[in-house]
Every structure is written in C-alpha cells, then in structure tokens.
Amino acid sequence: MQVKVFVTPRKGILDPQGRAIEGSLASLGFKNASNVKVGRYITLEIAAASAQQARDEARRMCEQLLANPVIEDFRFEVEGE
C-alpha cells in the first residue's frame, strides 16, 4: 500500500529554511507569500494485509524514525482512504 508521510516543523521551533525561502521569494518579487514552512515529504510502499495494518505500521515508523517529536509533527495518509 502506498503511504505518504508529512513531517513538519513544530510550532514555535525555529525554521531558518522557511524564513530563508520567504526572503528569496520576496526578492524574486513574490511579495504576497508568507508563513513559509519547510518539511519533509516521504512516500513508501507498505506490504500490508489491511489499510488498518498499514496505518499502524506507518505510525510506528513515524514515531520511531521518520519524525523527531522534539521538533517535528507528523501526519500520514494511506492511499485509498
């Protein structure tokens, strides 16, 4: 099953990358862009019997490896839901 994981910087945690991009966008003339946040977008295949099982696995993968709870939030979608 196809799983999409979204890892985003926690609120209140510095996101220098986002700020830098905001700056470059402005200097490129995109003055009306704001609140830029940069996260990670991870896609993977999970060989699972059910969407439920895939969801459980995906959650554990995120908790154990894909995201760092100190600085990041995660969210995922199992394809076909």
Residues near a copy of itself (CB under 8 A): 6-8, 21-22, 24-25, 28, 30, 32-48, 57, 60-61, 64-66
Closest CA to 7 of 36, 44, 35, 39: 39
The binder of 80, among a copy of itself, another protein, none, by C-beta within 5 to 8 A per type, is none
Question: Residue 8's beta-bridge partner residues?
Answer: 73
Choosing from 6, 41, 63, 68, the residue that interacts with another protein (CB under 8 A) is: 68
Residue 52 lies near another protein (rule: CB under 8 A) = no
